[in-house]
Amino acid sequence: MLQESIEKFFTLGLRNEIDSYDLYVSLFNILPDSQEKSIFLRLARNEKEHLARLLSRSEFMPSCIERLLQDLIDFKKLEKRLLIEQIRSGKGDITFLQALKMALKMERKSYLFYSYFAREIKDPDGKTFLYQISVEELEHISLIRDGIKRAFYNENRS
């Protein structure tokens, strides 16, 4: 993989992890209190760990990383604030099942992203690194699917 392609991959990977983290924290904060919503806190912690692991691979880091992260953080703060305001105003009610479906979509995207680049990258360490993250994304998918089954059962039981 050319250095330019590696930098593009890491830029996209960082954006993906930040997006995932922000989504899960937002869902945790806006959903009504319940023991079940802790799944989003667990997912957020996992995404934060992925972000830290990506950032630890400094040999692959894009030269513009500081600016990229600041732009993303500023944008996400605004986006998160708008999402929370929309839901609090009653215009964006979301059920636990809908939130899980959003999370499943995000995790599928992450899995496809990491597994694709794990196949493409030539560096053995990079390949292993990306493969490990893709396996963790599969674990997230399984966790969310279990949550969807429980939520679907609970919604239809009532």
pLDDT tens per residue, range 48-90? 899 888 877 756 555 555 555 565 555 555 555 555 555 555 5
Distance CA(89)–CA(115), nearest Å, equals 39
Distance CA(49)–CA(91), nearest Å, equals 33
What's residue 43's pLDDT?
Answer: 94
Below-70 pLDDT ranges, the chain: 1-5, 58-93, 158
What's residue 79's pLDDT?
Answer: 58
The answer to whether the CB of 140 falls within 8 A of the CB of 108 is: no
A 10 A CB-CB count for 39 gives 23
What's residue 63's pLDDT?
Answer: 57
What's residue 132's pLDDT?
Answer: 94
The answer to whether the CB of 120 falls within 8 A of the CB of 16 is: no
